[in-house]
Amino acid sequence: MSTPKILILGGGYGGLMTAVRLQKQLNHNEAEVTLVNKHDYHYFTTWLHEPAAGTKDPDKCRVDIASILDTNKIKFVKGTVSEIKREAKQVVLDSGEQLTYDYLVIGLGSEPETFGIQGLKEHAYSIRSINSVREIREHIEYCFAKFKNEHRPELLTFIVGGAGFTGIEFVGELSDRVPELCAEFDIDPSNVKIYNIEAAPTVLPGFDPDLVNYAMDVLGRKGVTFKISTPIKECTPEGVVLADGEEIKSSTVVWTGGVRGNSIIENAGFETMRGRVKVDPYLHAPGHDDVFIVGDGALIINEEINRPYPPTAQIAIQQGENLGDNLVALVRGGSELKPFVPSLKGTVASLGKNEAIGLVGDKKIYGSTAALMKKVIDNRSLFLLGGLPLVMKKVKL
């Protein structure tokens, strides 16, 4: 029998964790494992709101894949996936290279979900990669510098569309950065306006009301203005038009209002909901025993509340652990696979420096306690991916 080929698409939390698990358990030459990623680094998506606001160096939010993977066991290919050919069991890269597989793991991440709002793709920034957050940070600094010469209010009016975790964490960091930027460019802080606009009737939809109220109070005192139950109708080069007709002029619109699965999954012919595939208990794409999906592309229903689990890093890492174990079993001829059961360790949202809210089990945590817990959760993710060396490297930063 030929050596089975396992092809992993995407070096995000789910894909990389799958590779790490295989690396630990498979013997040499037991399987041919290949990881494909468009960058030669993995970046921590849960940290990106910080470099976007300029409170952390973007380079500190990534780690070289080569420092995590043993290339004697896992082959790494730097490339961008352009097509998945299910019937031929092939993946085509934008370079034209074609890779074959016996087992395919799709962890290609997400794309911004615009909900059909006109102009968002063309005129709004999004927090989705190292390069995108560099662009946001540099643009914000440019707006402050330009204001000194032009004094146009829209230059210092910042609109964040969406008040989910990313939106809330970003406005927390941005509000912390404003005093520093005002001091640097000799600008009166009263000139700066930060709007967080959300179509739902509350920020952090689905989160505990007490924690939501605390978050709004903290961010409100930092200068954030919330517009709740207020959909954005259109994004223009001059700002946004709201559903009620109000127009807010701004040179900076950052959209954090939702994500959908990578369009490559849908284009491959898999049945999707907002680009996500409703996987079976073993993370298979329905009807495909050779294809698994992890991370943002996997749709898993929480039966207790009959709603999908949010596509978080915590769940993606757990999926990678589970799938890695199951792939080892398949390679060794086993038929008994372990179903994936999410185990939520806690949910924490940062509100800026030393401020956060969270729910750990049934316990609500606030302020510096929650901020410390967020660091614990982040460090646990680092440990699972790269062991103690990665934790020590990033903690020093």
The yes-or-no answer on residue 169 being catalytic is yes
Q: What is the DSSP string of 196-214?
A: EE-SSSSSSTTS-HHHHHH
Q: What is the DSSP string of 268-299?
A: TT---BTTBEE--TTSEETTEEEEEE-GGGEE
Q: Which residues contact 1 (CB under 8 A, 6 or more apart)?
A: none
Which among 50, 111, 154, 169 is annotated as catalytic? Answer: 169
Strand, helix or coil for residue 360: strand
The Cα–Cα gap between 79 and 35 comes to 10
Pair of tokens at residue 53: 């606001």
Q: What is the DSSP string of 226-264?
A: EE-S--EEEEETTEEEETTS-EEE-SEEEE-S-EEE-HH
Characterize 48-65 residue by residue with b for buried, 16 or more Cβ atoms within 10 angstroms of its Cβ, and e for exposed: bbbbbbbbbebeebbbeb
| Residues catalogued as catalytic | 169
